Structure 1
Amino acid sequence: MKILVFSMATIMKDVSMGGSQRHLRELLFYLAKQGHEVTVLTNKRSDNTELFELCTGVRVLPILRFKETFPIPYDTYPFHLAHSYEIICKYAKKHDVFYIHDAQMDYGYLHAGIPTVASLKNFVYPEAMISAFHTNRDRFIVSCHYMYESIKYTVGRVLPGIDEILTVVKNGIDLSVYKPVESDWRERLAIAKDHIVVLFPHRPDISKGIMNTFEVVKRLKSRVKKPIKLLMPKHFDVNVSKETETFYHKLQETAEKYGIHESITYYPWLPGHEMPEIYSIADVTLCIGNFIEAFGYVQIESIACGTPAVVSNVGAQRTIVPEGYHVAKVDYDDIDAAVQAVLSLLEEPVNLEKVHSFLDKTYNYEANLSGYEQLITSRARYKGDLSKSEEQQTSQYKLAPWCYISEKGIYHDYYYKYFEKNKLHNFLASRMDKPFSAEELIEASFTQQDIEHAVEEGIIVPMI
């Protein structure tokens, strides 16, 4: 089958920009292995201008002209947009099916005549959120229950039929790659054997939790006798982006204020298949930011390689790995809890057999790739109307999937903060995840205006 793939984020020949692009690379190799002929349309960058063959059967054409670097890809010239849309329209006519990776393209008229499947890898950036509300695909794939719920209780309020095309295909992890491996990176980075290595393997984005990580490292230095090394990647965007270069310069200045600048060691941004070498030399991995992770590969990659992880109770990180698998969950910005979690995890060796069994069962690599292939190649067309529904009076509500009841209050992923512990917090804490009626809220002294305000602020959602 001739498959056309669109990726707004640039597909590079040797490395991936992040988890979403790495997943796409894995999928492309899989589709080629199954005998499909794949053409990938992606963005041109000054360091990625040549057409290349990713593998036999997969041609990558970096010929679109969106913004070079992340985020805000549509921040470009109108004639570059026109050029890109012409290309997409032209290639759509020559293929059997169109796969839009990580959505972010909202113009259905460009591919109206071809079966279209889209996946959504985040529900944060404007392009991704807007694209979720469009009806320009026949199948819509998300990576986990958190994403499914988030789309159902937002998009589903205006497109009630979204359930008819929305499918969860759980992300997968290749356990033949992500496992403890021998590595000489300690020697290459001059990290002594007695150093405790704290890994922060994220792209340059403050919301990924680098300031919280600095604070954790600062406190760890006064709590443990061994030297601490904070291991971080230097993103390859420094080659084309002054903004990224400035980010790292300011980061170093901040580290000096924290008194931990001598503890930081950088490694180059690596291809995904080389990351187990980095995970394997680390003692603990930190994912303690407030970025709304739609999945969060890092935690499962880390434990697969024998390194425990600390994650904040934000987004999908709340549910991807349950208790008992060497992933400690802490409330966002609770530095004391994060420090204590690190100290506790350092005392407990990772049970690899248990971890790999869980990952193989829950995030099976083959099941993920075959699930995508089946949906993409089915060429099923959606004939219904996503916006059509019978008028129903809503009387049942539940805690919004992007909210979490904490001892600090109601944590709201999208507001990046805790709402104070008021009577709404107490009511929701007593209900836990159970739905409740408007009558129950009114009996608990809430007015109709209170209810409407809680819905408007995204703290509770009407049941659909």
Structure 2
Amino acid sequence: MRVLLYLYYPFYDKHLAGGVQVSVRKLVDKLLTKYPDIKLSIVCPHSDLHNFPENIPLHPILHDLEQNGLNPIDLYNDLLILEQMADDSDVIWLVDRRFPVRTAKPKLLSMNTFCYERELKAFFESEWDRVVFNSEYLKNQLINCTTKREDATVIPYFVDDDFRKQEKMRCSSRMSRYFEFEFDKKYILYPHRPEAEKGHLEAILILEELIRYDSKYCLLIPMPPNSRNADVFSENDFIQGLKQIIAVKGLEENVVFHNWIDYSDLPYYYSMGEYSLFLSKLPETFGFVLINSISCGTPTISYGVGALTEVVPPGRGHLVVPVGDYHSITKLILAGEGQDEVVHDTDMVIEKYSLDRVATQYYQLFVALGRTTVNQLV
């Protein structure tokens, strides 16, 4: 089974950021180990500029073919290579992007969002044979726009097998690479990229209220990840703005800005928190932070936008408040809501969002589409 995976971002090993990057990176690992009959060829822009795991086969397509101002010769050469790779494949797996070459080979499109032009073009212009949505919420936003409804499937993201509750001593050791861990601090986690609609300002207001009751509360905010090169400058500017607000409010001793946490260290990061905050106002199509935090035994408080209440229903480990009601969040934290009940959602999340099950579902789709290729050749 020869699968051509077409990506739009550099395939980093450590500085993963965003549900798409994490899910594809770990899913590829699982597929390669569980199903040795799958032979993956992976195409992504600028794949010669980074150090990749040796077991991941990457083809050095050196350009983002949808960028403006691309040299025509480079575009022509890359399209020729893609055409040949498509001919040599049984199935083409697209992640949020349309395939730039016309081909009769069956195409599986993985849709992870509907907020951007390129992702919408992938859905409307890819001539896909099957489409996978990461949530019923996302499916419901788009499915009425196509006549191929029977070819749509929901396969959610997953909880990695390593995301389990870790002992505090081990958390201290691992987190010492990022900041000075203090055992008596009450850490509030804000594991999101710095974007205005992700709710950082509300997180600061919540902290301001919390320390009026207990000065041990500390808000953790990550710096921009390296894997988002295009956004680093704007995100750094956003961080500088946050720092100015924090300084004006006199909260410097209760806020820690730290480097982006490597994926392998995230179970320790989530395990040490009192709560994770998910205050996005964007139409979130899944919410990796939600399941990762709960799987490590840390309750998450959110506004419940998009698919969040579908992924984990509110009430125990997932606490939901109206958008902008940060006063209620402060009260929930001070009351310790969800601390004892989160274990029930932990078991549910680990069972429901199994990486092994997700890999099996994708494998079955590849096999079914691969039969289409075989039938075309008969």
Q: Deviations over 1:414-463 (max 9, x none)?
A: xxxxxxxxxxxxxxxxxxxxxxxxxxxxxxxxxxxxxxxxxxxxxxxxxx
| Matching of residues 14-29 of structure 1 within 5 Å | 14-29=14-29
Partner of 2:59: 61
| CA deviation profile, 1:154-174 (whole Å, cap 9, x unmatched) | x2xxx2x23121101122213
Q: Note if contact 1:212-1:289 (Cα within 8 Å) is conserved in structure 2.
A: no
> Residues of 2 paired with 1:373 and 1:201: CA distance?
31
Query: Quick one: which of 37, 40, 43 aligns to 1:41?
Result: 43
**2:84 pairs with 1:90:** yes
* Superimposed CA distance per residue, residues 210-230 of structure 1 (whole angstroms, 9 cap, x where no aligned partner): 1121111122122x2232211
Displacement of 1:358 in angstroms is 0.9
1:242-279 deviations in whole A, cap 9, x for unaligned? 33333322232232234323322133223323201111
Write the letter of the residue equivalent to 1:77: L
The 2-side partners of 1:296 and 1:137 are apart by 25
1:252-331, aligned counterparts within 5 Å?
A: 252-331=243-322
Structure 2 residues not aligned, in runs of 5+: 374-378
1:450 corresponds to: none
Report the CA distance between 1:355 and its aligned residue: 2.6
Relative distance call for 1:187 and 1:21 in structure 2 (3 A) is: closer
Note closer, same or farther for the CA distance 1:229–1:378 as it changes in structure 2 (3 Å cut). Answer: same
Deviations 1:316-366 (A, max 9, x none): 1132111343111112111212222322345733543x2333123322221
- 2:210 aligned with 1:220, yes or no? yes
Distance 1:376 1:238 in 2: 28
Aligned to 2:70: 77
- Matched to 1:234, the amino acid is M
Are the counterparts in 2 of residues 43 and 65 from structure 1 also a CA contact under 8 Å? yes
Q: What amino acid is aligned across from residue 267 of structure 1 in structure 2?
A: H
Question: In the TM superposition, what is the alpha-carbon distance from 1:301 to its structure 2 partner?
Answer: 0.7
Contact 2:189 2:270 in 1 (8 A): yes
Q: Tell which has more relative contact order, 1 or 2 (C-alpha 8 A, sep 6+).
A: 2
Q: Counterparts of 1:297 and 1:317 in 2: how far apart (Å)? A: 10
Q: Offset at 1:239?
A: 9.1
TM-score calculated relative to the size of structure 1: 0.72
- Number of residue pairs aligned between Structure 1 and Structure 2: 364
Q: Secondary structure at the match of 1:231?
A: strand
Query: Structure 1's 288 and 351: CA in aligned 2 closer, same or farther, altered over 3 A?
Result: closer
Looking at structure 1, the residues matched to 239 and 77 of structure 2 have their Cα atoms a distance apart, in angstroms, of 34
Using the TM superposition, give the Cα deviation of residue 202 of structure 1 relative to its aligned residue in structure 2, in angstroms: 0.8
User: Please, which moves more after superposition, 241-250 or 90-99?
Assistant: 241-250
3-state SS of 2:311 partner? coil
Question: What letter matches 1:206 in structure 2?
Answer: A
Identity across matched positions, percent:
21
Unaligned ranges ≥5, structure 1:
68-72, 384-464
Conserved 8 A contact 1:54-1:60:
no
Between the aligned partners of 2:204 and 2:87, the Cα distance in structure 1 is 51
Select 1:125's aligned residue among 102, 116, 119: 116
AA partner of residue 207 (structure 1): E
Q: Which amino acid aligns with 2:83?
A: C
3-state secondary structure, aligned to 2:294:
helix
Distance 1:86 1:262 in 2: 56
Within 2, Cα distance between the matches of 1:381 and 1:112?
16
Q: Which amino acid aligns with 2:281?
A: N
In structure 1, what is the Cα distance between the partners aligned to 2:156 and 2:82? 28
Residue 369 of structure 1 corresponds to 359
Once residues 180 and 372 of structure 2 are traced to their aligned partners in structure 1, the CA distance between those partners, rounded to angstroms, is 57
* Structure with the bigger percentage of strand: 1
**What does 1:418-433 align with in structure 2 at a 5 Å threshold?**
none
Q: Per the alignment, do residues 257 and 381 of structure 1 end up closer, same or farther by CA in structure 2, a change over 3 Å counting?
A: farther
Q: Name the one with the larger helix percent.
A: 2
Decide whether the 8 Å contact of 2:219 with 2:256 is kept in 1.
yes
The alpha carbon displacement at 1:17 in A equals 2.6
Q: Tell me if structure 2 keeps the 8 A contact 1:173–1:364.
A: yes
Larger radius of gyration: 1
Distance in 1 of aligned mates of 2:224 and 2:338: 31
The answer as to whether partners of 2:218 and 2:256 remain within 8 angstroms in 1 is yes
**In 2, are the aligned partners of 1:203 and 1:235 still within 8 Å (CA)?**
yes
Deviations 1:33-88 (A, max 9, x none): 2112211111217xx61574542xx3123534229xxxxx6355364655544443
Select the residue among 328, 332, 346 that pairs with 1:356: 346
Backbone CA RMSD of aligned residues:
2.7
The separation in 1 between residues aligned to 2:80 and 2:303, in whole angstroms, is 43
3-state DSSP class of the match of 1:38?
A: strand
Cα distance in 2 for residues equivalent to 1:92 and 1:202? 36
Matched, 1:145 2:136: yes
Could you say what secondary structure the match of 1:367 adopts?
Answer: helix
Equivalent position of 1:9 in the other structure: 9
- Per the TM alignment, residue 112 of structure 1 is displaced from its structure 2 partner at its CA by 1.6
1:237 aligned to which of 221, 226, 245: 226
- Mapped contact 1:279–1:307 kept (Cα < 8 A): yes
